[in-house]
Structure 1
Amino acid sequence: MSGTDRGRLITADGLGAWLIKGNADHVDLCGRFAREPHVDRWCVQPGYRLELTAAGQPVLFWGSGSRRRDVTYGIWGRGRLLGPARRQEDGRGWELPLDLTIAEPSTWIGRDELRAHDELAGLEVLRQPQAANPSFLTKRQSAALRDAFGW
């Protein structure tokens, strides 16, 4: 491991998929995605992970929250990055360019289902839900998600 890799949880070689998060308690994500399930960009936090982003990498959408009992919080959608992270047009933050679709709510994969799976229970988003955006899945976790849920 090089000196620049120390303390990094993910590397390009270990990446299975990016996971971007949105809090449905703060914004009406369910209403937004019911009207338009396609997502073409999403705000992310600066950090070394953005240096690893590239066109074609898989990405998942994580709907978070705790207030509404009628919403399945967890993995809501999937897609691909259209390019590396970039500055927002206003220059105030960063975003990922996406081709991502939010699935029908009946197919969302809930936190409890993920926690019940041996490999997926260790997802960063479950261990550290307040961690910066984007989160990630390792290659093993991505394979387990495909095997268990067809995602």
Structure 2
Amino acid sequence: MKIILIVIGCFGVAFAEVAKFEKCYGWSDDICKVAEVRINPCKNKNFCVLKKGQQSSIEFDFTPMFNAQRLTSSLFWASPTGDLPFDKFTDVDACLYSTCPTVSGTQQQLSYSLRLDKFIPNGIYTLKWRLWDAEDESKECCFKTNVKIR
């Protein structure tokens, strides 16, 4: 009986990290498909709670429908007045966080860890993540997810 409870508890922790996400406006699965987004820590899939000054991570599975030698990535706050880039993750070499080169139709994963600065205001934010072929921005993956920062 103890083993069953431990196994159920482990599954609960694993599933708690899966975050709700949506495709970016105008983005097509014909170019790139995001299968799953995982945020750690995350206990509420509608918006994961991230604490300032503590380590957090985001990881997602994606299948590019294009070959690329190099990938570039950026993280934004999708604010009502327009996308505001996170200065520590703008136009970065995504090959540091994922496998390069990409092979069309092959699923892969991008993993990124961060520590949120304490000066970020508390609130609920929609994060927008873009990942694209460094030589052709039309070949892109893009998704949005909500987080609560406190």
Larger Rg over CA atoms: 2
TM-score by length of 1: 0.29
* Larger proportion of helix: 1
TM-score by length of 2: 0.29
